[in-house]
Amino acid sequence: MEALLPVLKSHPGPSVLVCSLLFRVTHRLLQRLPVPKVVRQDDFRSWRWRNLSVSLVHSLLTGAWALTCVVVWPETLSNIHSYHTPLSYLLVCVSTGYFVQDAGDIILTGHARGSWEFLLHHALVIWCFLYTLYTQLYVAGAVIALFVEVNSVTLHLRLMLKLAGAQSSPMYHINKLANLFTYIMFRLSTQFYLTWYIVHNYSWLDHGGYFLVTMMVMNIMILIYFYRLLRADFFPRTEKLNGFALQYEASVRGKRGVKSSREKRTIHCLAEHTTSLC
């Protein structure tokens, strides 16, 4: 690992591209796994399932990796600005590669308009992580930021279970509670700590203004997502939304017999009250 670090530091851009290609290979390999029938029958669901499968692999890998870095090297928590190890630098490189791959997948498959929130999130993360890789500053901060991937595991599972139509399964209800817990412990708490650190040390941090603005935008986004999550999983309006879905589908069928992919997607979103899918 010590021998690999100079190569990564001297060529951060190509290193990120290599990691991105590795995640693309992972994307191809995961397509060989069995997929629920209800997912295979719809183009949007099929793409979303494949996309989430890669995201789940990334979250499992980087979430555990980030926690390990902090447990083994506790200074990561306190010296966010300057401290890093070879493993933590590699972690940021690998994660940046994933976000580049995922953004490319969204754009090249024609889902950019419906996934603009994810693209905005990815753009902010990629910019911050590339700054970290090129300057070798805030590597520890990037590692801490990846704590949110622990929560992303349950978030991705939630969406995959919804895609498979398993909202009534025991696994979904268990994951729902785990998702709420990890959202508070690993996403909200992480964002709060990083924001506090930047504000508290703003006077001497390099480009502190940029990172503070970025954190504020991210904070707004995760609070909106948290509200959507609570509304969808703990305060659902199933009967009302299902009624809207049936009315919408009836009106579409009244106009013509075949629904477009966009209309199918609208019906899915209304019926499942899944804001993350819409």
| DSSP sequence for 64-104 | HHHHHHHHH-THHHH-TTT---HHHHHHHHHHHHHHHHHHH
Question: Quick check: 123 and 93 in contact, CB under 8 A?
Answer: no
pLDDT in tens, 60-97: 999 999 999 999 999 999 999 999 999 999 999 999 99
pLDDT in tens, 168-224: 999 999 999 999 999 999 999 999 999 999 999 999 999 999 999 999 999 999 999
pLDDT in tens, 3-46: 777 878 888 999 999 999 999 999 999 999 999 999 999 999 99
Q: Does 277 have pLDDT greater than 50?
A: no
Cα R_g (the chain), whole angstroms: 20
The secondary structure of 222-234 as a DSSP string is HHHHHHHHHHHHT
